Amino acid sequence: MAAGIGCLFVGKCREASLREAADLYALKLSRLARCEVLTVKDAPAACPPAEKSLREGRDLLAKLPPGAVPVILDERGETWSSRELAAKIKAWEDAARSPWFMVGGAYGLSDEVRERAKSGGAMFSLGRITLPHELARVVLLEQLYRAASINKGLPYHHD
């Protein structure tokens, strides 16, 4: 994908209302920016939590396009305002780099994924609260839409 925004999620969004909200913001985002949303399968339920994170992490990294900027959602990451997120996306796009935002499954992201983000991307936190990964997906897509609207000068965001 040429410079644009990518999202990598673990698992399908099973809750209908959250799936509809995620789809709505993905559609709105696609009208303002080049974007791609991909998912990887959940690891088998029989796996212990650490093994699930490891398997899902490897699948996420395998789908990460070459040259992409890995941006993981992680509670230990930096918190950015909507305007700061918009500025970071604009800076990546101005440098012809594509940020790929990754949301792990129920047990989070593996250390391997965290290290990849630390070495060549960013760790982004939606705050100190813990969100179910399906809800984090919706919040992320809304914030990406908000950032795109800020970068386009549209009146969606109010300071």
Domain positions in the chain: 5-151
- Kindly write down the DSSP assignment for every residue of the chain, as one continuous string: --SSEEEEEES---SHHHHHHHHHHHHHHHHHS-EEEEEEPPPPTTS-HHHHHHHHHHHHHHHSPTT-EEEEEEEEEEE--HHHHHHHHHHHHHTT--EEEEE-BTTB--HHHHHHHHHHSEEEES-SS---HHHHHHHHHHHHHHHHHHHTT-TT---
The pTM of this model reads 0.94
pLDDT, mean of residues 93-100: 95
What's the pLDDT at 115? 96
- Whether domain 5-151 has CATH 3.40.1280.10: the reply is yes
Whether pLDDT at 65 is above 60: yes
- pLDDT, tens only, 108-139: 999 999 999 999 999 999 999 889 989 999 99
- pLDDT, tens only, 41-50: 999 999 999 9
